[in-house]
């Protein structure tokens, strides 16, 4: 965990940081931690409150002394609606847990103006091209002190589910693009953990060699393909997920402006992400996409997103 602990009150220390949701890329999670729990948000508006609670490990009286702590989903919090408890939370009336929840809410309120928080998942698992042995697609990320995913992902995904999810509809050619990436990765898959540096360069942990920043795809998937049709498939995908790509914190002004010009392609996704944009080159482009989304929702009889 990051070491930027800041006191929320005289007795409570708070850590705040961000991590990416990758494979497929779905944006950036904001995390606030106290000693008693954590609050997580995918949009910077609605926060999932999880408190640390003691649970009994196993059944029966013989296990009464065998207790462990685990995160318990306590409720959802937003400025608009306040705290909404999970209906099945058996411990919501517990005074200690309620205090832990209140401390997290205080931490959120004190940090809303600091969003987005700094990304701390500098360790990256990249799938490599079988021919030129260069990074092809990002498979996973981890913080310096977190456990690595087990098992490690082998394949890259463009979308989740048959329809996608509310914050990102399924890319129409997702299966075709995923197969293209699999073919380029080859039968003998090569993947390497890389620790990224502040200047964008990286150090391969498996090959113990430095890598220049230029070899890493800016948008987490290579845009360099041997055939024009393949390159267009990848480019169209990146334009499709432009609303969540703009939550990335390392983009140049040129790259950010490029993605802002694509926001109308999937305007419904903008409302889920724009609070976490670290910068806007053309605020009117973002506003236009938000207005487009509202009109589309109204025409479809849908509900406006928070």
pLDDT digits (tens, 9 = 90+) for 208-240: 788 999 999 999 999 999 999 999 999 999 999
Mean pLDDT of 130-152: 92
Alpha helices in the chain (DSSP H): 95-111, 174-185, 228-240, 242-245, 253-260, 283-299
Q: pLDDT digit string (tens) for 109-130?
A: 999 999 999 999 999 999 999 9
Residue 56 has what pLDDT? 52
pTM, full prediction: 0.87
pLDDT at residue 61 is higher than 90: no
Classify each residue of 142-157 as buried b or exposed e, where b means 16 or more C-beta atoms within 10 Å of its C-beta. Answer: beeeeeeeeeeeeebb
| pLDDT for res 88 | 56
Map tokens 């490029």 to a residue: 258
Binned at pLDDT 50, 70 and 90, residue 7 comes out as: very low
Q: How large is the average pLDDT for residues 5-32?
A: 83
Q: What is the mean pLDDT of the chain?
A: 89
| Nearest CA among 155, 150, 114, 151 for reference residue 138 | 155
Rounded to an integer, the average pLDDT of 39-49 is: 97
Dihedral over Cα of 131, 23, 140, 231: its sign: positive
**Between the ranges 23-27, 85-89, 160-164, where is the mean pLDDT highest?**
23-27
Per-residue pLDDT at 305 exceeds 50: no
- The pLDDT value given to residue 118: 97
* Best CA proximity match to 10, nearest among 81, 100, 83, 103: 103
Compute the distance between CA of residue 90 and CA of residue 65 in angstroms, rounded to an integer: 20
**pLDDT at site 92:** 57
The fraction of the chain above a pLDDT of 90, given in percent, is 73
pLDDT 10s digits, 235-293? 999 999 999 999 999 999 999 999 999 999 999 999 999 999 999 999 999 999 999 99
């Amino acid at each position: 965990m990051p070491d930027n602990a800041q006191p929320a009150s005289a007795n409570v220390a708070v850590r705040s940081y961000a991590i990416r949701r990758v494979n497929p890329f779905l944006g950036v999670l904001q995390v606030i931690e106290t000693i008693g729990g954590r609050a997580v948000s995918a949009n910077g508006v609605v926060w999932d409150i999880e408190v640390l609670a003691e649970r009994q490990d196993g059944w029966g009286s013989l296990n009464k002394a065998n207790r462990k702590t685990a995160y318990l989903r306590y409720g959802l919090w937003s400025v608009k609606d306040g705290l909404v408890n999970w209906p099945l939370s058996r411990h919501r009336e517990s005074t200690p847990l309620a205090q832990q929840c209140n401390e997290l809410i205080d931490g959120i309120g004190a940090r809303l103006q600091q969003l987005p928080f700094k990304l701390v998942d500098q360790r990256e698992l990249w799938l490599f091209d079988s021919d030129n042995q260069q990074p092809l697609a990002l498979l996973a990320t981890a913080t310096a002190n977190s456990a690595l995913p087990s098992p490690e992902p082998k394949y890259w995904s463009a979308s989740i589910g048959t329809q996608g999810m509310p914050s990102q509809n399924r890319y129409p050619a997702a299966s075709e693009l995923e197969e293209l990436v699999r073919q380029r990765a080859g039968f003998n898959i090569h993947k390497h953990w890389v620790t990224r540096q502040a200047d964008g360069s990286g150090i391969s942990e498996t090959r113990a060699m430095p890598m220049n920043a230029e070899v890493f795809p800016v948008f987490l998937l290579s845009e360099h393909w041997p055939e024009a049709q393949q390159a267009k498939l990848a480019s169209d995908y990146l334009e499709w997920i432009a609303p969540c790509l703009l939550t990335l914190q390392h983009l140049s002004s040129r790259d950010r402006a490029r993605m802002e010009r694509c926001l109308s392609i999937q305007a419904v996704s903008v409302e889920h992400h724009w609070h976490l944009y670290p910068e806007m080159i053309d605020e009117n482009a973002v506003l236009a996409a938000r207005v487009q989304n509202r009109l589309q929702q109204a025409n479809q009889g849908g509900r406006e997103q928070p």
